[in-house]
């Protein structure tokens, strides 16, 4: 087992695309750990709070070659043993925020933007800056300002001069629980062409599951040899749905461990494990269809892993699982099934799961 350091530089990051044709920026083996920098694509919202000279230099280098998606991603990381058809386990071991501020955007892709009837929200984009209090474990809104560039403007998503908009204090008192997590993490899509970072898919990508934080692990179906892993879109806090358009967007340095599973624990969509639950994801442009996919994949997950009939799995999902909206703002929407681990306490189920290739559930 080796520990690698992967900084965010113009040579190790891309803006807006996953491109499986790129040479890996780092090659590791199964079991290795990587400490990597993940830089927010929203730092330009408040550069006096969210940019260091190094981050500004990264923006200046990447902006001219920005792809169709919104996000800055670090990678790709190749895992030597990984082959198409295997499963990649990514353990989230540590996260640290180098700057104690984050930005939230009420965006043109937010749920209420095209609607009418709520003064001050409809057809308006605006920023909210949050201050991070690590000891208290909360984020505090500080000020709001109108976003100066309209949707479709080529400057949208770039750097806003600090004096360009009026920053108005917010009503004090709100405290948002910190949830450091990766909005984007995943393997290379099975396509020869570059893919936008905005919509999620079975490869992962912009899943935006706010539970993918320290002490959890995500499993991805590997679609191409060497897997080719990216991470980005770091979030400091987020609620299920991410309804205004973004989370509290900030920078993170994360430490991840990578394990390749061969000929076992096969999955068809990303699966997240927390200390108390399994989460199975579904994606579609239509929220109802995303729910249907999440239910179908969860039925397969229960039937395959615990050797029960699909009819029993379907009943368990209706009576004991929670289906949550992961996010509703990335064109391809997400729903995830939350399946409690304490559904299966019997020895027969536990042994069947082990025989079927499930990795141990003790999280690092």
Tokens of 194: 């570059």
For residues 41, 45, 51, 53, the Cα torsion angle rounded to the nearest 10 degrees is 90
| Distance, CA of 188 to CA of 33 (rounded, Å) | 19
| Contact predicate 358/219, CB 8 Å | no
The per-residue DSSP string of 331-359 comes to SSEEEEEEEEGGG--SHHHHHHHHHTTPP
Query: Average of pLDDT values for 17-40?
Result: 97
* Whether the predicted pLDDT of 363 surpasses 50: no
Query: Average of pLDDT values for 92-97?
Result: 98
Query: Average of pLDDT values for 114-134?
Result: 88
The pLDDT, as a whole number, for residue 358 is: 55
Express as a percent the part of the chain with pLDDT over 70. Answer: 95
Domains of the chain: 3-84+93-100+179-202+224-261 (2.60.120.580), 103-177 (no CATH), 276-355 (3.10.28.20)
pLDDT digits (tens, 9 = 90+) for 133-165: 999 999 999 999 999 999 889 999 999 998 899
Pairing status of strand 13-15 against strand 248-249: unpaired
The pLDDT, as a whole number, for residue 123 is: 82
| Contact predicate 226/69, CB 8 Å | no
The pLDDT, as a whole number, for residue 360 is: 56
| Contact predicate 278/319, CB 8 Å | no
Query: Average of pLDDT values for 196-211?
Result: 98
The better pLDDT of the pair 305, 196 is held by 196
The listed range with the strongest mean pLDDT (99-108, 112-121, 148-157) is: 99-108
| Contact predicate 146/129, CB 8 Å | no
Query: Average of pLDDT values for 78-96?
Result: 97
| Distance, CA of 106 to CA of 127 (rounded, Å) | 6
* Whether the predicted pLDDT of 349 surpasses 60: no
Report the candidate in 176, 171, 177, 199 with the shortest Cα–Cα distance to residue 186: 199
Express as a percent the part of the chain with pLDDT over 90. Answer: 88
- Cα R_g (the chain), whole angstroms: 20
| Distance, CA of 214 to CA of 87 (rounded, Å) | 20
pLDDT digits (tens, 9 = 90+) for 230-281: 999 999 999 999 999 999 999 999 999 999 999 777 899 999 999 999 999 9
Query: Average of pLDDT values for 163-187?
Result: 96
Strand partners for 253: 37, 96
Q: What is the 3-state secondary structure (H, E, C) of 251-282?
A: CEEEEEEEEEECCCCCCCCCEEECCCEEEEEE
The pLDDT, as a whole number, for residue 359 is: 60
Round the average pLDDT of the chain to a whole number and report it.
93
The pLDDT, as a whole number, for residue 129 is: 98
Half-sphere CA count of 328, side-chain side, radius 13 A = 15
* Whether the predicted pLDDT of 312 surpasses 90: yes
Report the candidate in 105, 130, 96, 121 with the shortest Cα–Cα distance to residue 42: 105
The pLDDT, as a whole number, for residue 201 is: 97
Least confident of 44-58, 211-225, 339-353: 339-353
Q: For residue 223, what is the DSSP state?
A: -
The pLDDT, as a whole number, for residue 115 is: 78
Banded pLDDT at 122 (limits 50, 70, 90) = confident
Cβ neighbours of residue 83 under 8 Å, at least 6 residues apart? 222, 225, 262
| Contact predicate 363/215, CB 8 Å | yes
The pLDDT, as a whole number, for residue 364 is: 39
pLDDT digits (tens, 9 = 90+) for 208-217: 999 999 999 9
The pLDDT, as a whole number, for residue 167 is: 97
| Distance, CA of 338 to CA of 324 (rounded, Å) | 7
Residues 330, 332, 336: CA angle, nearest 5 degrees: 95
């Amino acid at each position: 087992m080796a520990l690698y350091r992967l900084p965010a530089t113009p040579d190790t990051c891309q803006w807006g695309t996953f491109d499986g044709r790129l040479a890996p920026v780092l090659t590791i083996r199964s079991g290795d750990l990587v400490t990597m920098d993940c830089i927010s694509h929203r730092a330009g919202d408040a550069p006096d709070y969210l940019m260091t000279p190094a981050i500004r230099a990264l923006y200046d280098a990447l902006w001219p070659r920005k792809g169709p998606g919104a996000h800055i991603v670090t990678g790709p990381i190749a895992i030597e043993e990984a082959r198409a058809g295997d499963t990649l386990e990514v353990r989230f071991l540590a996260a640290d925020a180098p700057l104690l501020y984050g930005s939230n955007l009420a965006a043109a892709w937010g749920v209420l933007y095209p609607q009418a009837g709520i003064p001050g929200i409809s057809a308006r984009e605006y920023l909210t800056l949050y201050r991070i209090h690590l000891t208290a474990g909360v984020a505090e809104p500080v000020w709001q300002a109108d976003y100066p560039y309209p949707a479709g403007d080529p400057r949208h998503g770039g750097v806003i001069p600090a004096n360009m908009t009026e920053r108005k204090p917010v009503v004090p008192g709100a405290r948002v629980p910190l949830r450091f997590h990766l909005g984007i993490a995943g393997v290379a899509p099975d396509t020869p062409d570059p893919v936008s970072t905005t919509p999620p898919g079975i490869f992962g990508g912009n899943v935006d599951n706010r539970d993918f934080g320290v002490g959890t692990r995500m499993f991805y179906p590997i679609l191409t040899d060497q897997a080719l892993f990216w991470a980005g879109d770091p979030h400091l806090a987020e609620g299920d749905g991410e309804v205004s358009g973004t989370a509290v967007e900030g920078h993170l340095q994360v430490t991840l461990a990578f394990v390749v599973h061969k000929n076992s624990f096969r999955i068809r969509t990303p699966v997240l494990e927390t200390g108390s639950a399994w989460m199975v994801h579904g994606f579609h442009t239509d929220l109802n269809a995303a729910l249907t996919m999440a239910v179908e994949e969860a039925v397969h997950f229960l039937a395959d892993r615990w050797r029960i009939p699909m009819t029993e799995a379907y009943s368990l999902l209706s009576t004991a699982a929670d289906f949550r909206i992961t996010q509703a703002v990335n064109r391809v929407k997400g729903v995830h099934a939350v399946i409690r681990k304490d559904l299966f306490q019997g020895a027969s189920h536990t042994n069947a799961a082990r025989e079927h290739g499930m990795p141990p559930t003790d999280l690092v």
